[in-house]
Structure 1
């Protein structure tokens, strides 16, 4: 009996183990099958996301190509391309056609476009213009602009239209250097003493507003002392890096290396420029400043470094601008149009009324201080300089995005400011060029030695 019991127990145990093993392997097969299904579904989902992003990027490319074509067809050459890029973004965005929505990939590309745009603006800065008597004129004009901007900002704050008067002040003192310079070049005025004065004023307007934004609206520090300390460390590091790069560029071995690789598939100078851009942006983030400050200073530093030996790199500027204006910069402006809150702008009467107020505010803050140039210019050229200085869009778009991220302004108020900026780049340069055409032949020239 004991043996049979033992044998019977053994058989039962073996059967139990067999059944359990079958169940285990069946569950394992089912689990593998489920994992395979999950992996397939995840792959399909990822492919769908990639396909959607590529389609959205395609739409951005179509808008970027159509913008200059429409200007050429309509012969509206006075109209900056960025205006149509923003309008195109509004049309394909969630406000009109609902074709494009901003996802993390497009947001990253937009940030790269903004950084590259400020990098190109920094390349326009010639620090030699900001010295001597011309610095006295444009510096006095900028200080007067600050005073008027504070008056406008706190007036609107007092009546409850804005919640951050200081941010509005900084926005109003800016001038779009990247828009003013091409207009002056096309008009044949960029190399004249009048054009140099306007460019210097626009340079200080954009440079000063970027520094003020980074100094007062740092995301890493709350106390003013900490902000100033971080900004000081950041500025010192930028100076040291710039000096190091400048000294390396003056060495013989580096010059020989550039001769070898500057126009080859290595494109060494373009790589150095982009590395400088990313490095300065990284430093800006690391010390609590805005990325736009790092990008702008990278452009300034690159211009200083390459200025003395520009003959070695005749195509560098063209290559850098082709990469920026051909890809990154249009994405930034089109995405700004996609983010534009058209509904909030047109459904709120008080917000709509702020558009002409901000437009007039730009003319008051940046246009009126040009009266200080009256000592060197006639009345007509003084008015023209004021209209050019009141032209602002690039910094407005960038600053309003930062303001929304910090919760300082609403999307509706941002839309009103951007709309005012759009109108400023359409209206003010048009009037300025009209006055400039009428003044040809009888304008008052100012000796360069007196300005510089």
Structure 2
């Protein structure tokens, strides 16, 4: 029996990538078959990972190669998040009568940050969650990628309302990323890394300046067998990720800056499509499914302290964004303000790498990480549905 278990474990490790890729293939087919396409793809992939992983059938046991692909997946996911930022929204409007979403979105995020600090203080003082700073970073994050997809589906991405939510979400991804990098460096006592943090931004600016002139030249010499724009994108990713790691920063910050640099180079629409195809076609599904595979809910539900965190963090994710209502109400009215406060509570994209950093630094346990992940998954299931209902009511 023991030998059988050993042989089974070896086989499962060897075929884990095939199992995960097959799961990635059939997940959208299953959601289409049962008419649940409204569920964010990331959530359906995590749920599929739970089914085939430690919690469910336990037929997928990722080895180092699968984990490496999953790590690349989160890097490319954050890179594509950086590419989604519309930098024209940050430009001051010459005509003062034209609405600019910058002021509203920045004020909105600052209220989220204030509420996150308040809620984290309550959890710290009550002893429910003792890492105050990590809680602030978690509560202030917003799932930029999920929200962009949702705004595209409902046709709001190009409206003033959609742009304001988009920019608020961008703040909710970039600022927590920087905060996580600084906090991680302090926890590891790499204080020089904090001083070296501007270096990664300087490198990003140098890369932007260097490639800004020759990027136009790419169109003249590019061909199907060279794909220079894709090669440049991966060069930017690995350059900034490598430098970020060398100065003690988080790799995902380098990936985000690489996406921002690529966006500022103004790539062709088909470049973004090709990069999205590579990311969402292979690397990113492996990351989300592997996250579900590694999530052991059986162990989680035997730890009642961790189980208690699920409703607490779920309420905190929602309450930290509820205050956005008062910022959006002045500009868009009550219903759309309520929709903004609900949709910005959607959080999963950055929560997963934050929790991974927390586990690596031994700031949180695996059970706590699983509980917080489950709370984030619930926000992605509930908040988009409520947002769509509010919009339908308004219509």
How does the TM-score come out when normalised to structure 1?
0.80
Residue in structure 2 matched with residue 338 of structure 1 by the alignment: 293
Cα gap change, 1:141/1:341 in structure 2, threshold over 3 Å: closer, same or farther? same
8 Å Cα contact 2:54-2:295 kept in structure 1: no
SS in 1 for 2:209: helix
Deviation at residue 353 of structure 1 after TM alignment = 2.5
Residue in structure 2 matched with residue 323 of structure 1 by the alignment: 278
CA distance in 2, matches of 1:233, 1:148: 31
For the pair 1:386 / 2:341, whether they are aligned, the reply is yes
Deviation at residue 87 of structure 1 after TM alignment = 1.3
Residue in structure 1 matched with residue 165 of structure 2 by the alignment: 198
Cα offsets for 1:236-269 (capped at 9, x unmatched): 22222222122332xxxxx4443332x4111111
Residue in structure 2 matched with residue 428 of structure 1 by the alignment: 383
Deviation at residue 401 of structure 1 after TM alignment = 0.9
For the pair 1:272 / 2:239, whether they are aligned, the reply is no
Cα offsets for 1:28-49 (capped at 9, x unmatched): xxxxxxxxxxxxxxxxxxxx99
Deviation at residue 140 of structure 1 after TM alignment = 1.7
Residue in structure 2 matched with residue 33 of structure 1 by the alignment: none
Residue in structure 2 matched with residue 151 of structure 1 by the alignment: 118
8 Å Cα contact 1:162-1:409 kept in structure 2: no
CA distance in 2, matches of 1:296, 1:149: 23
8 Å Cα contact 2:196-2:247 kept in structure 1: yes
Where does structure 2 lack aligned partners over 5 or more consecutive residues? 1-7, 93-99
8 Å Cα contact 1:216-1:227 kept in structure 2: no
CA distance in 2, matches of 1:349, 1:164: 19
8 Å Cα contact 1:220-1:288 kept in structure 2: no
> Quick one: which of 181, 196, 202 aligns to 1:236?
202
Residue in structure 2 matched with residue 450 of structure 1 by the alignment: none
> Quick one: which of 61, 67, 82 aligns to 1:101?
61
Residue in structure 1 matched with residue 319 of structure 2 by the alignment: 364
8 Å Cα contact 1:219-1:288 kept in structure 2: no
For the pair 1:114 / 2:80, whether they are aligned, the reply is no
For the pair 1:377 / 2:332, whether they are aligned, the reply is yes
> Quick one: which of 176, 179, 188 aligns to 2:155?
188
For the pair 1:208 / 2:175, whether they are aligned, the reply is yes
SS in 1 for 2:46: helix
CA distance in 2, matches of 1:219, 1:106: 30
Cα gap change, 1:257/1:375 in structure 2, threshold over 3 Å: closer, same or farther? closer
Cα gap change, 1:104/1:350 in structure 2, threshold over 3 Å: closer, same or farther? same
For the pair 1:65 / 2:1, whether they are aligned, the reply is no
- The CA RMSD over aligned residues, in Å, is 2.0
Residue in structure 1 matched with residue 134 of structure 2 by the alignment: 167
Residue in structure 2 matched with residue 7 of structure 1 by the alignment: none
Cα offsets for 1:76-127 (capped at 9, x unmatched): 1210111121111122222322222232212211110000000111110112
Deviation at residue 305 of structure 1 after TM alignment = 0.6
Where does structure 1 lack aligned partners over 5 or more consecutive residues? 1-47, 250-254, 308-312, 441-452
Deviation at residue 66 of structure 1 after TM alignment = 1.6
For the pair 1:176 / 2:143, whether they are aligned, the reply is yes
> Quick one: which of 204, 221, 224 aligns to 1:260?
221
Report which stretch shifted further, 126-135 or 416-425: 126-135
For the pair 1:130 / 2:90, whether they are aligned, the reply is yes
8 Å Cα contact 2:54-2:296 kept in structure 1: no
SS in 1 for 2:15: helix
Cα gap change, 1:56/1:219 in structure 2, threshold over 3 Å: closer, same or farther? farther
Residue in structure 1 matched with residue 354 of structure 2 by the alignment: 399
Report which stretch shifted further, 237-246 or 322-331: 237-246
8 Å Cα contact 1:71-1:81 kept in structure 2: no
How does the TM-score come out when normalised to structure 2?
0.91
Deviation at residue 161 of structure 1 after TM alignment = 2.1
SS in 1 for 2:68: helix
CA distance in 1, matches of 2:246, 2:189: 15
Larger radius of gyration: 1
> Quick one: which of 19, 36, 39 aligns to 1:76?
36
Count of residue pairs brought into register by the alignment:
381
